[in-house]
Amino acid sequence: MPLALRPIPLDRQFDGCNSVMFVACNVCPRMHFAWEHHEPLFSPMMLLGRENSFKRYLTALQRDTQAHGQRSAVFRTSSAAAACLWSTALGEKFRHAGADYDAFGVVGCESAVKTVSQIFPDRRIVQLVRVEGIANFTLRTRWPLTVEVVAAAKVPMNEITAAG
């Protein structure tokens, strides 16, 4: 079940760092941005290079850090992911890609932050979205090969109770 998220504005979280890698989960944040911006989650136009709101957000993060003289890059989990699971191979790919970065901005939940901190325990890691609850997204497929988020119901954190 996807999480309802809210982006945290980039402020001074990376002051003192020469380089920042943004680690973007392609499940919950991507769905959230598609819903918030009334854009398809997937369409053939995206394969041809059309940017979506999630990509624009990641690009803006990079531009902001680069404007402060910091080198930056984006590491994205698999775009085909249906769940937020990191394989051993993905972890190794990330370890290699992030080796030369001082800090990591995680566009994902606490689990994503934990995964990044396990791979790079001595680096600055900042979560760039706030989990606000659980989202129940309804998806619709339409021609040609377009997937849209057509409805979302949000259960706020204070209404989530443990079963038992």
Nearest Cα to Cα of residue 4 among 22, 24, 27: 27
What does the pLDDT read at residue 49? 67
Q: What is the mean pLDDT of residues 45-68?
A: 86
Provide the token pair at 78. Answer: 């698999």
Amino acid sitting at position 51: E
What does the pLDDT read at residue 158? 78
> In what order do the strands lie in the sheet containing 40-42?
3-7, 129-142, 146-156, 40-42
Chain centroid to CA 133: how far? 16
What does the pLDDT read at residue 82? 56
Q: State pLDDT tens for residues 8-47.
A: 988 889 999 999 999 998 888 888 888 888 888 777 776 6
Q: 93-122 b/e with 16+ CB inside 10 Å = b?
A: ebeeebeebbbbbbbbbeebbebbeebbee
CB 89 within 8 A of CB 99: no
Provide the token pair at 25. Answer: 């989960």
Tell me: domain 3-159, CATH 3.40.50, correct? yes
Report strand pairing: 19-24 vs 103-107: parallel
Q: State pLDDT tens for residues 64-86.
A: 999 999 999 999 887 655 566 77
Q: What is the largest CA-CA distance in the chain?
A: 51
Amino acid sitting at position 155: V
